[in-house]
Structure 1
Amino acid sequence: MHPAVHTYSTSRNLEQSVLGHASEPSGVLHPSLKPLPLHVVAAEGTMLKFSDGKTIEDATCGAAVACIGYHSERVKAAIVKQWDRFAYSNSMFYGHAIGEELAAELLRGTNQEMSKVYLMCSGAEAMEAAMKMARQYYMELDPKQPQRMNFIARNGSYHGSTLGSLSMSGHVGRRKLFEGMLFNNIHRVSAAYEYRGRTDGQTTEDYVQQLADELDQKFQELGPDTVCAFVAEPVVGATLGTVPAPAGYFKAMKKVCDKYGALLIFDEVMSGMGRCGTLHEWEQEGVVPDIQTVAKGLAGGFAPIAGMFINHRVSAALTAGTGVFSHAHTYQGHPLGCAAALEVQRIIREDNLVQNVRDNGEYLGKLLREQLADHQHVGDIRGRGFFWSKLTYMKLEFVSCKKTKEPFPPSAGIAKKVHLVAHNDVGISLYPGMGTKDGVTGDHVWIGPAYTSTKQDIERIVSKVKESVTLALK
């Protein structure tokens, strides 16, 4: 299934060889204008071929997106079938069957715990919609009491790059340039980051209670009746390196939210739709959110689409009130995106891929720990399902000193170095992250294999991950 991987030869300028060497100026505003990126010219399975003829294995599904690989005849046929009917519909005035079918499929996947789903094009759009829905919920209940406008989020979180979603985010580096423009009604509590937050001798239960008390105090500080919602990623994605919450954490957080009548919003843009071994990560927490966002694994990258779920509590308030969500996007519920997402979700369900993620995810974690836990600069290895990290201290988090958990200085560029060596010399894509400890210091890389991965695939990927870390940190 996997063609031979042509590895990059070592170069004095590793970054240039991985990012590209275009000879003519590009009219595209790329993420980096110097140097320009290589072009992907073909993709099959989990293999990417570039403009220079080299091929690598993508062990992160892009950014946890291409969950069933880069090609599917079934998805292609579904998109073409919808294309032949109509490709676009004005969602402000009309509905369509493909959207209804997708909504039914998605709600069934929540075991009908959620009531409605609103479909857009990106995770950031979904977070913006979630914020506005939370605000409108309280206005529907009592428009004469508009004081609920505050949100509580967490340090180290990331919810998107638009101004609202970036305001919700606690990612220091991504916020820095835009401080002063960001919203002032979003407040922060500590991340549920057991590796760095739980003190020696403190039990997990005590640590969870400490975090619950902190959230309760934040409600008191702001005024309990001014808070719309507590917002969190059930498994923090790229910013902290796939950090799952401690056992019992979200039940404790929900208890605080219920105490003050606030909503609970889960951002599952990266961790949801099967990535962590259940279709929705909240199934593992035993907690149903009031509002939930999803995106990356929804259509597997075959079309840009995201979703916002609301539960029956929120839906009932809207139905009993104005009956109108005061929000809209030109391309919401786009028919081609709906067709792609519906077929991807059917494939995931019919091929029992979430169970495969659960089974082989445990194997992935086992192999990563067996082969890398003893490395002097791997501080933590953490994750869930097919969402695993390594850093310089345990998740695949990298540290200069394992005992003190002290990270390398940012100037060392450890995560970037591991990423480049993996890409250039080993022929695998790993996803780097910086600022893991405090938003500035700390490095990690994470992997997120395709849901279709077999045990043999996992063994090969872990072997390449080990080789990459060994070469980069020798």
Structure 2
Amino acid sequence: MSLATDQQPSHSSVLHATLAANPPKIVGAQGHYFKTADGHSIFDASGGAAVSCIGHGNPRVKRAIKDQLDRVEYCFSPWFATDAYEKLATFLTDSTHGEMEKVFICGSGAEAIEAALKMARQYFLELPEPQPQRTRFIARDRSYHGNTLGSLALSGHAARRKPYAPILSNQMTHVSPCYTYRYLGDNETEEAYVQRLANELEEEFQRVGPDTVAAFCAETLGDCLQTLGGVPAVPGYLKAMKEVCDRHGALFILDEVFAGMGRTGTLHAWEQEGVVPHLQTVAKGLGAGYMPIGALLISKQVVDTFSKGTGAFVHFQTYHGHPVACAAALAVQEVIRDEGLIENCQKMGKYLSKALRNRLEGHKNVGDIRGRGLVWGIELVKDKATKEPFPVADKIAPTIHANGLRPEFGISLIPGGGVADGTNGDLIVVSPAYNISIADADLIVDRAARAIESVLGPVKESKL
């Protein structure tokens, strides 16, 4: 007798997000829709956590998974090679036009960040004249790099760090984010703002000791799930930050776990910024949720240093390079390429941006709408004139998210918090699959707007 059931259990053994949680049970997923156990459908406008970039149930990816299972389901990557790992790694290095030379495949974005931290540290031990004093990392306030201890220490997410602060590394420090909505001065040009942020990074290098910094790490686009809600960098910002790193011999790491693999309208978000990282992490859009996977991409400079040193990266994981995950991810990337989904991401991103602004920009509690490609963050404020955030205790974004899942709205959105000061400040983010249509975008805007209005009231000054 099968133990499986589609019914919602009266008691769950799952440790959900909160002990009192009773989330909708999903019994099916196809295209852009989830089917719940009680027969409702939910449009997945969030891609889960900005993961499901080609929609659900893609037959080509499912076939690739089955075919790989028929070949080899698992082998230990430090001891064996597989075609699946080799082909995915080749695809990734080729996609950077040779800027990145090697790839380490792991199981998630946080694992990719952990690998990047270790590689940056080991890089300075592999130099012809080793620099063992380089133990520090600089990241940004209100950044999010993962929930493992190393990636959380690197993150600047105050609320998530708080319970674990005593056991987080003290080798990580933070500088201001690039966040024009709140921090661009009234009479300040973008060029002056970039210079101010570059000066702040320089000051932080000097404060901790320039020869002690291993790397500066930034998200190419501010994380949509936990922090800034898809904030694009000001033109020239990332280039200026890398120049500070280069001046002091530190590495420049770009976290593209969220923004990479097409989400922002190019396969690698750094392609739009005129800058190439020494190390790059990707994850969400790599496997589109069909299998857990992340990757660390490594530049020629770093690879050459290892080649002339010990020739080995002192790091591995039981499931790194998992052949089924690699096969699934390669199939996802082939779907994106063959169906022109990056081009569609660009086109539909422009349409979605305009539609969201037309529908919501006049709302008294919508402070800012920002993003790029197919990720758009809607920052909600208590007072539009002063940009005062709602207190975190009001649970504005979580309530909108919960309302969105109700049958009368039927939409999955991403709720975010802490955008204003690390604790307060609400976001609603949409990050749908790259293959949405105009009709899908119109549906997203309508349902998202109605879910927001169910909590904050109707638009007062609609542009329509």
TM-score, with structure 1 as normaliser: 0.93
1:56 is the counterpart of 2:42: yes
Alignment of 1:250-269 (within 5 A): 250-269=238-257
- In the TM superposition, residue 38 of structure 1 has moved relative to its aligned partner by 2.4
* Matched residue SS, 2:384: coil
Tell me the equivalent position of 2:271.
283
Aligned mates of 2:455, 2:108 — CA distance in 1: 34
- In the TM superposition, residue 465 of structure 1 has moved relative to its aligned partner by 1.6
Between the two proteins, what is the percent identity of the paired residues? 50
* Matched residue SS, 2:57: coil
Tell me the equivalent position of 1:139.
125
Tell me the equivalent position of 1:422.
404
- In the TM superposition, residue 435 of structure 1 has moved relative to its aligned partner by 1.0
Letter in 2 for 1:145: Q
* Matched residue SS, 1:35: coil
- In the TM superposition, residue 23 of structure 1 has moved relative to its aligned partner by 5.1
C-alpha RMSD over aligned residues: 1.2
Tell me the equivalent position of 1:453.
436
Tell me the equivalent position of 1:408.
390
Letter in 2 for 1:356: N
Q: Deviation string for 1:262-305 (max 9, x for gaps)?
A: 11001110111000100010001110000000001101110011
Q: Deviation string for 1:400-434 (max 9, x for gaps)?
A: 11111111122221111221222213111111011
Tell me the equivalent position of 2:426.
443
Structure 1: any 5+ residue segments left out of the alignment?
Answer: 1-20, 391-396
Tell me the equivalent position of 2:73.
87
Aligned mates of 2:76, 2:394 — CA distance in 1: 51
Tell me the equivalent position of 1:241.
229
**1:371/1:189 Cα in 2 relative to 1: closer, same or farther (>3 Å)?**
same
Q: Deviation string for 1:96-117 (max 9, x for gaps)?
A: 1111111111111111211011
Alignment of 1:159-174 (within 5 A): 159-174=145-160
Aligned mates of 1:422, 1:305 — CA distance in 2: 28
Tell me the equivalent position of 1:13.
none
The structure 2 residue matched to 1:359, chosen from 347, 356, 361, is 347
Letter in 2 for 1:447: V
- In the TM superposition, residue 181 of structure 1 has moved relative to its aligned partner by 0.1
Tell me the equivalent position of 2:106.
120
Tell me the equivalent position of 1:316.
304
1:350 is the counterpart of 2:338: yes
Aligned mates of 1:251, 1:416 — CA distance in 2: 36
Aligned mates of 1:372, 1:145 — CA distance in 2: 52
- In the TM superposition, residue 142 of structure 1 has moved relative to its aligned partner by 4.3
Tell me the equivalent position of 2:91.
105
- In the TM superposition, residue 33 of structure 1 has moved relative to its aligned partner by 1.8
* Matched residue SS, 1:297: helix
Aligned mates of 1:244, 1:147 — CA distance in 2: 33
* Matched residue SS, 1:153: strand
* Matched residue SS, 1:331: coil
Aligned mates of 2:20, 2:190 — CA distance in 1: 46
**1:381/1:75 Cα in 2 relative to 1: closer, same or farther (>3 Å)?**
same
- In the TM superposition, residue 143 of structure 1 has moved relative to its aligned partner by 6.2
Tell me the equivalent position of 2:323.
335
* Matched residue SS, 1:426: coil
Tell me the equivalent position of 1:384.
372
Alignment of 1:165-244 (within 5 A): 165-237=151-223, 238=225, 239-244=227-232
Q: Deviation string for 1:342-387 (max 9, x for gaps)?
A: 1000111111111110111011111111111111110000000001
Tell me the equivalent position of 2:460.
none
Tell me the equivalent position of 1:374.
362
- Checking the alignment, whether the CA contact within 8 Å between 2:24 and 2:36 is kept in structure 1 is yes
The structure 1 residue matched to 2:62, chosen from 73, 76, 101, is 76
Letter in 2 for 1:440: T
